A and B are shown apart, each in its own frame.
Chain A
Amino acid sequence: MSLLEVKDLHVHYGVIEALKGVSIKVEPGQIVTLIGANGAGKTSLMHAISGIVKKTEGEIIFKDKSIFKSNAAHIVADGLVQVPEGRHVFPGLSVYENLMMGAYLRKDKKNLQDDLNKIYERFPILEKRKNQDASTLSGGEQQMLAMGRALMARPTLLLLDEPSMGLAPILVKEIFSIISDIQKGGTTILLVEQNARMALSIADYAYVLETGKVVLEGPAKELANSTEVQEAYLGGSAKK
């Protein structure tokens, strides 16, 4: 049974149709990636799944329950948490306070400190800067904070929207290796990326979105080798 299943999802912004019947599946334990150009509808899909944009029609099933009509808070409480594009950390709140916002809906106060320590272990820089205002962090640090904050919610499914955006190549590598680690820790991941090469290299399954529709899907390795993807998203013709 899929952990997340999106069926024939439509989203409109006014008269513009951003998603024109998208269907995707995310199996437990996998990293699934959505690739596509700007304006393909990747972020709209992420926002629709997280319940912060209105959906016109379709169905979204998470853990065998429909979350199509659920509000954002219920979806987070169910274990589906998003790290949004552009990090969206809270300026004016310290790094520690930002992390605690991730645990906003958690009732198990006892385990919070343990989880916080685990986050600090995974991102030592966050512990060093725990009392600093989040807005003083660099882009890479903010990305780590946004990921740490989401992990504080103990997600079953983590949505990552453009985690490598605007980061130096060395940081991009680091972020991707952290994503792999998170998957190994048992969290399923749905990853949106413009850096298709990196995304396909760590993903199990991939979807290609174009102007609001899925145009291609398959195991990530196969897509990485397909001529269409090579030409459109990997900047070159197939070598093999």
Chain B
Amino acid sequence: MSQFLQQVVNGLSLGSIYALVALGYTMVYGIIKLINFAHGDIYMIGAYTAFFVTTYLGMSFIPALLVCMIVCGILGVGIERIAYKPLRKAPRITALITAIGVSYVIEYTMQFFMGTSVKTYPKMLPDISWQIGAVKISYIQMVIFTVTIVLMVLLTFIIHKTKIGRAMRAVSADENGAKLMGISVDNTISITFLIGSALAGAAGMLVGLYYNSASPLMGMVPGLKAFVAAVFGGIGSIPGALVGGLFIGVAETMVVAYGSSLYRDAIVYIILIIVLIVKPAGLFGKNEREKV
């Protein structure tokens, strides 16, 4: 039992990271119906940014986190402006293939400059851990939970209580209707990329610290898993991304603990297949319906 609870905690910390990445997928999909396959690579850039600012500039945790979020946010907006915006009227498959292309460009550019070796971080966080009942929570796990909760609360606030959040929801619901209200669709899309990519940047730094490593291809598999998490929760749904991320994290951890680590990636795709068969719109997804 205590081992089980311990695995839940481990799963939730991994799941928090998936959730942060899944949010970016779901927000971008919600607004321009694009699966941004380069999203996992933005997360990788977040991990590298953290590596640089902590190793060479000696930044402490919070400033480094903010820098990661800003760098990734700007990168996300740049990618949208350069690669996706010219294709907004093109068939969706064109943009999708472009996203895969962008992903490779980022991965191999990083590999060219950074090499394929794994970078490790300087020691930033103390080796403290807390014993709560039978469960041990490490300092980094606590940091992951805290950062995730703070960012989620902030995101919920932005989306539901601010003017820009309302504009994001309006553009996502009805682009032409939003234009007729004087909302700049281009700016709203950019802000969505900014926020989604900043969250991925934060996730990248957290995962870098958690596993103490960063490498150019580190975004591929977690990116796919976060995508599965977003689909699981219902792509386009923000609570869905959160629940989906946590669920995938826990499921993966459980399989490693009680099954075999050989199946840690397979379980994610098995979940995806089951979801697509049983509830194609995902947990919180809405079936498209229109009222005249």
Contact = CB atoms under 8 A, between A and B. Distances in A.
Most chain B CB within 10 A, of A90, A97, A100, A139, is at A90
Nearest to A137: B291
Interface stretch (A34-42, A71-79, A179-187): A71-79
A90 B173 contact: yes
Interface string B250-288: 000000000000000000000000000000000000000
A50 interface: yes
A93 interface: yes
Given A84-B177, A86-B292, A139-B292, A72 B166 contact: no
A65 interface: no
A142 B292 CA distance: 9
- Chain B interface residue count: which class? 10 to 19
B183 A84 contact: no
B174 A88 contact: yes
Chain B contact residues: over half helix, strand or loop, or mixed? Answer: helix
Contacts of A139: 291-292
Contacts of A218: none
A18 interface: no
B180 A142 contact: no
Given A72-B182, A77-B182, A104 B163 contact: yes
A91 interface: yes
B170 A93 contact: yes
Nearest to A82: B180
A86 B217 CA distance: 47
Interface residues of A, number: 29
Interface in A62-117: 72-73, 75-77, 81-82, 84, 86, 88-93, 97, 100-102, 104-105
A105 B181 CA distance: 8
Given A101-B183, A104-B167, A149-B181, A84 B173 contact: no
Interface of B: 163, 166-167, 169-170, 172-174, 176-184, 291-292
28 contacts: A50-B180, A52-B179, A72-B180, A73-B184, A76-B180, A76-B182, A81-B180, A84-B177, A88-B174, A88-B176, A88-B180, A90-B169, A90-B170, A92-B169, A92-B173, A93-B166, A101-B166, A101-B167, A101-B181, A102-B181, A104-B182, A105-B181, A105-B182, A139-B291, A142-B291, A149-B181, A153-B181, A166-B292
Given A101-B181, A104-B163, 17 more contacts: A52-B176, A72-B179, A73-B182, A76-B180, A76-B182, A84-B180, A89-B174, A89-B177, A90-B173, A90-B174, A92-B173, A93-B169, A93-B170, A97-B166, A102-B181, A139-B292, A153-B182
